[in-house]
Chains A and B, each alone.
Chain A
Amino acid sequence: MQTKAFRKTYTRIERITKATCVVKAGNIKYGELAWINDRPAQAISVVNDLVTLQVFGGTEGVSTQSKVIFTGKPPTLEVSDLLAGRFFNALGQPIDNGSPVSGEERIIKGSTVNPVNRAKPNVLLATGIAGIDLNNTLVTGQKIPFFADPDQPYNQVMADVALRAEADKIILGGMGLSNDDFLFFKNTFESAGVLDKIVCFINTSEDPSLERLLIPDMACTAAEYFANDKKEKVLLLLTDMTLYADALATVANKMDQIPSKDSMPGSLYSDLASIYEKAVQFQHGGSITMIAVTTLNEGDITHAIPDNTGYITEGQLYLKRDSDIGKVIVDPFRSLSRLKQNVIGKKTREDHPQVMNALIRLYADAMDAKTKKENGFDLNEYDVRCLNFSKDYAIKLLAVDINISIDEMLETGWELLQKHFERYEVGIKEEFLNKYWKITEEQTA
């Protein structure tokens, strides 16, 4: 993005709010990028000769006499292989002291992939974390967020996943990232020796907050370049999408739009979908897998941001602190990978779906027993077994600090079932019971 190119300049600003300003100008295209006092802005409504601009850099210091330069085109990013290993701000300008990247200039809100040209995502993406691989198996081309309270280690877990997943490129879109977290990612990638395959677009909490509106599209454009043009497997990390949505709400509010639920704009669903739907498995093998973070307010997933996200993404990974074991676990109830059925029992061992379901069902029984106990009732013998099981299950399979293969997870699952339950209590197809339920001496006797 250059400010230099010769373009129309206007100086009649008629109205200024915290996020927008209205300028009198002719021949302006909808969506056009403009610069006000060297701050980027975009035309989001044009009526007669009045152009409303959302000012990404904020309007502090903008005056009615400020100069507005229109560039004649929407925001763009220059793409090339040279993006690899680099750090950029929301405008695609280097923040790593390197020189600007030149390449083919692309509009950052690119076109939609024709659905008939997509392939069905069915390549397993293993992370070693059983709460993910066993219960919520991921595949390339999937889009899935972590739902987490602000105090949970979501960025760490996301970095673990990124490093363990086999990806050709890791693209990080950071929105409102604290400087500490930014450095955490940078150091983690550095010490893992993968700096040459990452591309980062970073808006930290010190940068103007509206600039983060550009981050997802920038990151997606870079991701699409590597996934489609270069046919690579790209992993795209977006954190924190809640801060992105807050920025959307700010602009909508300054535009006097009628808010829908939780003061969010009525178009929130479409806005988020236009980003998440960039996740894709191409027929030629390239793919964009998207892992995002949506922070929650006191665990409330009915809030419009996680709610709309859940309706768009292909599942969600819900992090939760399990006070019984004192560790963060991937909650097996609210977490879900909708694409898991494309691989489980097909690319993984045949008993995977049934073992997974049996464990979760019994864990649900354990939670019922727990409620019962909390309400002061006596537990029956089955309840007690369930509770013992649930603790084992959380430590050995649900905790996020686990790193084992899927076969090991299944073996552990069978062990837990046999340790705590009888054959008829687990609701698994007889065929699998015969094969995997080890007959102990006691039973044959």
Chain B
Amino acid sequence: MTTGKVKGIISNLLLVEVDGPATQNEVCLVNAGKWLKAEVIRVQQNIVSAQLFESSESIQIGTEVRFTGKMLEVELGPGILSKKYDGLQSDLEKMSGTFIELGDSTSPLDDDSRFSFEPLAKEREKVMAGHWLGNVKEQNIDHKIMLPLSWKGSFTVKWIASEGEYGIRDVIARVEDQNGVEQEVTMVQKWPVKVPLRGFREKLRPGKIFQTGLRVIDTLNPMMEGGTGYIPGPFGTGKTVLQQAIAKNSEADILIIVACGERANEVVEIFSEFPNLTDPVTGHKLDTKTTIICNTSNMPVAAREASVYVGMTLAEYYRCMGLKVLLLADSTSRWAQALREMSNRMEELPGQDAFPVELPATIANFYSRSGIVNLYNDESGSVTFIGTISPAGGNFKEPVTESTSKVARCFYALSQKRADSKRYPAIDPLASYSKYLDYLEFQQYSDENIQKGWVQEIKKAKDILRIGLEARDQINILGDDAVPIDYHINFWKSELIDFGIIQQNSFDDIDMRTEMDRQKYMLNFILGLCNTDYEFEEFEQVRDLFKNMINLVAQMNFSEYKSDSFMKYEGQISDLINNKSGSYANQGIS
């Protein structure tokens, strides 16, 4: 193996003089008393630039370096769920001491854990990488033990373990390759994180809704299974709260959360909440389907980039088991900043805002790893990816937001103005979009599974919002009295949709999650109110009526679906319209 000596230290960039071959992205180990991991990021003749995944204090000129011949890898196998990893997949709970000390590194899986194995493959069966050889129960998930995903060619099963309990490193199958060489399979395999993990037959076009329980997403800007989305917003506008709301309420089988360069207290919140929260879909505790990868803002910057790739690889691995995986990363801007710091240290020619020129390609490649796929056995699995972006100065005209907009299909723009007036989630209703609304696949799916013409209804709601905001602008320019009453009606209709559908209290036990059924009911109900013809004598009456309606719709949202109080408030709205029909409404709810 190649060895080398440190020739330069510029923050966490090491220049290493080597005595043999070195590969881009190869991991090398630096002797600082303990062996510290670094990754090769440039090779120029016999000088290698490596980014150290730790602090460089205590390294000096001449420090010994060993090359491993391997890229940065993750370990895959049963036991990943409910783990708390650092950016390089070290199990944080296995570390001793209050502080993470230099070079602390622990094994990702529990080496002496045992799982009860049930064989799926038969002897003499022909198998390829990704084929399911057996099944173990990991938490509440059927964790498939696969022929290692990195193996090439086809194999014949010579022997498979019978049903029973095995350690994760026990041999559970023996297979023979085309040359007659026998190989052993355990429950554990490895994969280099920067290489997309395939293991599927084909990628499909998304078209099936991925429910998040949030009305502004599911109803107005739906996410798809295997889809991609991004949430940019100035600081404090609710990116993290929104992502965590999605995490808590979505219908994912597996949840991978990457805390990338953000606050430690935010992961602590997940640690302390998830074991007590119930997954609304399965009824199990939320932490049993969740893995957290945290490289918080005070952890080594170089591991920030690694952390998102570790997360994606774990997600892809579970996708190969036919599961619906949701991957969340908060915030992808920190990852981009880590790339920028390194690129600047290497004195590369900078692109826009000093980010590396290849940033758009890096982002595009990453988002492209998500998707819904067909496996070899016609089962389907998906990785849905939603990342947050923290644009400098809250201005979306910056490289990370712009690069992401070209690849991600759903755009959930958080607006400072809405956050300031506490209209949460502060998603800007006009700027945001889901490109999936234009997908024929989704139109067909929603016609069959939600309601015929569903997409048209969504577009109607969006039109009302748009017209309402235009009306508001006119009112602001011309004054309350100077515009026709219709302007006021249009404006207040958009407010009704805003308060009744878009705004949702993520901290209220009932309002935090709205089932699709209920969302459909509410959209139809509110559109009904908007389609009602109203007649008013003066604009003050418009505000009065609509404020009353908005209040009642909000009370409906706080009540159990179709409960007595829910029905009571609904009844009060009809009364409001009918009773006052003499004075200002000439028609009931249509």
- A residues touching B (Cβ–Cβ < 8 Å)? 26-31, 44-49, 74, 107, 109-121, 141-142, 228, 257-261, 266-267, 269-270, 273-274, 277-278, 280-282, 302-304, 307, 310-312, 314-316, 333-334, 336, 338-339, 341, 353, 357, 360-361, 364, 371-372, 375, 377-378, 380-382, 424-425, 427, 429-430
Contact = CB atoms under 8 A, between A and B. Distances in A.
B102 A48 contact: no
Main secondary structure of the interface of B (DSSP, over half): mixed
A302 B395 contact: yes
A357 B422 contact: yes
Contacts of A334: 420
A58 B382 CA distance: 57
Given A29-B59, A30-B60, A261-B393, A47 B235 contact: no
Contact of B264 (A74, A109, A113): A113
A31 B99 contact: no
B297 interface: yes
Nearest to A307: B393
Contacts of B340: 260, 266
B354 A45 contact: no
B344 to A, nearest CB: 5
A48 to B, nearest CB: 6
A116 B271 contact: yes
A341 B272 contact: no
B111 interface: no
A341 B240 CA distance: 14
B301 interface: yes
Contacts of B394: 302, 307
Interface string B144-167: 000000000000000000000000
Contacts of A304: 392-393
Contacts of A118: 264-265, 268
Contact of B507 (A48, A353, A364): A353
A300 to B, nearest CB: 9
Contact of B84 (A110, A112, A115): A115
A357 B93 CA distance: 39
Contacts of A269: 261, 297, 334, 337
A19 B266 CA distance: 37
B297 A273 contact: yes
Top 7 nearest A-B pairs by Cβ distance?
A: A273-B297, A277-B298, A302-B393, A47-B8, A31-B57, A310-B235, A111-B99
B363 interface: no
Contacts of B529: none
A375 B84 CA distance: 55
A380 B538 CA distance: 12
A260 B59 contact: no
A287 B354 CA distance: 38
B93 A116 contact: yes
Contacts of B484: none
A277 B10 CA distance: 23
Nearest to B392: A261
A49 B60 CA distance: 10
B396 interface: no
B421 A361 contact: yes
A307 B479 contact: no
B61 interface: yes
Nearest to A316: B236
A105 to B, nearest CB: 15
Nearest to A360: B422
B476 interface: yes
B100 interface: yes
B481 A260 contact: no
A50 to B, nearest CB: 9
B2 interface: no
A113 B99 contact: yes
A29 B58 CA distance: 6
Contacts of B201: none
Given A258-B344, A424-B547, A115 B294 contact: yes
A174 B420 CA distance: 31
Nearest to B342: A266
B177 interface: no
Contacts of A117: 98
Given A29-B57, A277-B296, A307-B392, A114 B97 contact: yes
B479 A378 contact: yes
B415 interface: no
B74 interface: no
B392 A341 contact: no
Nearest to A337: B236
Contacts of B70: none
Nearest to A423: B551
